[in-house]
Chains A and B, each alone.
Chain A
Amino acid sequence: MMHEHDPLLEQLSALPPLDTDVASAERLRRLARGELSRTTARSELGRRWSALWSSVLEPAMVAAVIVIYAGWGWSTTASLFHEGAPESVVERLSPRETCRTKYEPQGSFGERATEHSNERARCLKSGTLRARDA
């Protein structure tokens, strides 16, 4: 302690204690202890909710978002590649010679995908492109 050799501080440490009356001290003890119990209970509830959220709910929600997004992407892609095209368009877009070369379509992604799908189907049908090449 700092005031081991300081007479003034030693005098201060020897001052008589001040305190509340017994009834007030006991009332405050009960009040604060009750508040502590309530706070701890609320804290425990919060801790359990946090554990449930991090171990179950959050992974489940992430998985759900991934599944929904993947499903949407799959259905969109599938609809693009399985959309039927009029035969006249296939005929117009698919000269036999282009089946042996790399097809480089122009236009938007939707148009290119449709055209590429139709071209591949036509090439397979005509026998100029083997299935493994497609």
Chain B
Amino acid sequence: MERAPPQPDWLAGLKRGDGAIFDAVYARYRPGLFAYLARMSGRREVAEDLLQETWLRLARHAPSLAPGTDVGAWLFTVATNALRSQQRWRVVDLEKVRQALFVPKAEQATPFEALASTQAHRVLERGLAALSSSDREVMLLVGVEGLTPTEAAEVLGLRPETLRQRLSRARARLASQLESTESISALGGIR
């Protein structure tokens, strides 16, 4: 989906509390942020809570944003940090328990597979959900949200070269996941 490109006056408008510019920024980044948080957390209600936290943080810190701040990257950074904080405070990380016990992930549909319009999309959603968090965040930021590797590196606090290496590995793992589910034919060949 094509979204309005970021405007150069957004940062200044946010800093002075311009409501119209806030609405424009909200309309531009809310869907992407929600999709990112939902696919990362795997739960819609968690994504909604984190989305609210992200936007309230922007509202509270807008006047003190540094000159030259990329508002989009800043939002994804805050969302990523909120997500990591939320995961850190979970009493039991089910994903780690599953890995420790060598239990394969349950073959059940993610909440987002139901929204997928085609078999190929359903397979991709399932493949993304099966990735580790660090692989999934890279694939979502670059592949789904369309951030450049440099922007994604900034969001994740990595060097661009490190991000490229991680992206390459994550891509290989996702391709392997898709092959292992014998869905490669549904995608018409992805390698």
Please list the residues of chain A having a beta carbon within 8 angstroms of any beta carbon in chain B.
1-3, 6-9, 11-20, 24-25, 28-29, 31-33, 35-37, 39-41, 43
Q: Which residues of B contact A29 (CB under 8 A)?
A: 23, 26, 30
Please list the residues of chain B having a beta carbon within 8 angstroms of any beta carbon in chain A.
1, 14, 16-17, 19, 22-23, 26, 30-31, 34-35, 38-39, 48, 51-52, 55-56, 58-64, 112, 115-117, 120-121, 124-125, 128, 139-140, 142-144, 146, 148-149, 167, 171, 174-175, 187, 189-191
- Selected contact of A20 from candidates B17, B48, B64, B120, CB within 8 Å: B48
Mostly, the A contact residues are: helix
Q: Which residues of B contact A18 (CB under 8 A)?
A: 31, 34-35, 38-39, 112, 115
With contact pairs A2-B149, A12-B143, A32-B55 given, residues A19 and B34 touching in the complex (Cβ less than 8 Å)? yes
Q: Quick check: A40 and B17 within 8 Å, CB to CB?
A: yes
Q: Quick check: B17 and A11 within 8 Å, CB to CB?
A: no
Q: Which residues of B contact A7 (CB under 8 A)?
A: 189-191
Task: Tell me how many residue pairs across A and B have CB atoms closer than 8 Å.
Answer: 112
Q: Quick check: B143 and A19 within 8 Å, CB to CB?
A: no
Give the one of A9, A13, A15 with max B CB within 10 A: A15
Q: Which residues of B contact A19 (CB under 8 A)?
A: 30-31, 34-35
